[in-house]
């Protein structure tokens, strides 16, 4: 394993039972993403992208193999340990922003830090810094309903990295946005990944965005393989 690897899947297996048959989603799958690297996950619907993201994010346990986050094996972690690892080391961005509507942009980015135990002022200072970095410094007091779709998604990205995670997992983060806004949000996310050194795995159907990342992977017959975009 590379010394600067932030996430690695080693010989991961995942199967689902349907009646008397067994459906294999991941078959001894291997993957490694280094700190500061952006990797696109491009695969057809039903190929197992969501399963891969869930296992990498410790939301789902594999049937075999192991997940390493910043060199730490997650195989032996109980539910509480997995929750702690997710809270401290993994950030998530979804296609829909999932911001809490009753809280401001600043408060939405503060919340995961306060849940982790940081003092309110420390959380507020970091939240404000991240929102300013995402060019939302003038929108920190606005609630989600007062923000555009692109602004909401940038708040969601700031929230995902609020606890300074090692890994960022994104599932179609620009899927609900128009092309111009999509490019703007992607550029902001790229800048944040480079600045923070987080290892990012981004599922997308947008091949133009995928080509702008460091490399792309796909799922084929349960294996994770390098993907050549055409």
Count the domains in the chain: 1
**pLDDT tens per residue across span 95-135:** 777 899 999 999 999 999 998 889 999 999 999 999 988 88
Provide the pLDDT for residue 4. 56
User: What angle, 0 to 180 degrees and rounded to 10, lies between the N-to-C axes of helices 120-133 and 179-196?
Assistant: 130
At residue 227, φ and ψ (nearest 5 deg) are -115, 125
25 assigned to some structural domain: no
Using pLDDT thresholds of 50, 70 and 90, give the confidence band for residue 1: very low
Cα distances from 4 to residues 7, 33, 151, 170, in angstroms, run 9, 9, 32, 21
DSSP of the chain? --TTEEEEEEEEEEEEEETTEEEEEEEEEEEEEETT-EEEE---TTSSHHHHHHHHTTSS--SEEEEEETTEE-TT--HHHHHHHHHHHEEEE-SS----TTS-HHHHHHHHHHHHT--HHHHHHHHHHHHHHTT-GGGTT--GGGS-HHHHHHHHHHHHTTT--SEEEEESTTTTS-HHHHHHHHHHHHHHHHHHT-EEEEE-S-HHHHHTSSEEEEEETTEEEE----
CATH value at residue 179: 3.40.50.300
Is residue 18 in some structural domain? no
Residue 144 belongs to a domain: yes
Residue 71 lies in a domain: no
Q: Is residue 33 part of a domain?
A: no
Domain coverage including residue 167:
38-61+79-226
**Model confidence band, residue 169 (pLDDT cutoffs 50, 70, 90):** very high
Tell whether the model's pLDDT for residue 2 goes beyond 70.
no
In a domain, 178, yes or no: yes
Residue 7 lies in a domain: no
Q: pLDDT class for 5, splitting at 50, 70, 90?
A: low
The predicted-structure confidence for 46-74, as pLDDT tens digits, reads as follows 778 889 999 999 998 999 999 999 989 99
- Taking only the tens place, the pLDDT of each residue in 172-220 is 888 777 888 888 888 888 988 888 889 999 998 888 889 999 999 999 8
Tell me the pLDDT of the chain averaged across its residues: 88
* Residue 148 φ then ψ, to 5°: -75, 170
Mean predicted confidence (pLDDT) in 9-27: 88
Mean per-residue pLDDT, 130-155: 91
**Which residues are CB-contacts of 62 (< 8 A; sequence separation ≥ 6)?**
12, 13, 14, 26, 55
Query: How far apart (Å, rounded) are the C-alpha atoms in residues 72 and 84?
Result: 13
Q: Rounded to two decimals, what is the model's pTM? A: 0.88
Determine, yes or no, domain membership for 29.
no
């Amino acid at each position: 394993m590379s010394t600067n690897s932030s996430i690695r899947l080693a010989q991961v297996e995942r199967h689902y039972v349907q009646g008397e048959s067994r459906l294999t989603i991941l078959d001894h799958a291997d993957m490694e993403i280094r700190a500061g690297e952006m990797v696109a996950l491009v695969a057809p619907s039903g190929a197992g992208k969501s399963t891969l993201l869930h296992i990498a994010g410790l939301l789902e346990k594999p049937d075999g193999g192991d997940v390493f986050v910043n060199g730490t094996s997650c195989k032996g972690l109980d539910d509480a340990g997995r929750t702690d690892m997710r809270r401290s080391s993994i950030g998530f961005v979804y296609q829909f922003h999932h911001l809490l509507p009753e809280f401001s942009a600043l408060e939405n980015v503060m919340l995961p830090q306060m849940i982790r135990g940081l003092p309110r002022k420390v959380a507020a200072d970091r939240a404000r810094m991240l929102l300013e970095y995402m060019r939302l410094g003038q929108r920190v007091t606005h609630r989600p309903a007062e923000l555009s779709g692109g602004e909401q998604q940038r708040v969601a990205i700031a929230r995902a990295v609020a606890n300074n995670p090692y890994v960022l997992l994104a599932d179609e983060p620009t899927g609900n946005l128009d092309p111009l806004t999509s490019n703007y949000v992607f550029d902001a996310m790229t800048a944040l990944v480079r600045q923070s050194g987080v290892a990012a795995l981004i599922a997308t159907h947008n091949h133009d965005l995928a080509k702008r990342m460091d490399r792309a992977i796909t799922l084929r017959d349960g294996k994770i393989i390098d993907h050549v975009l055409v």
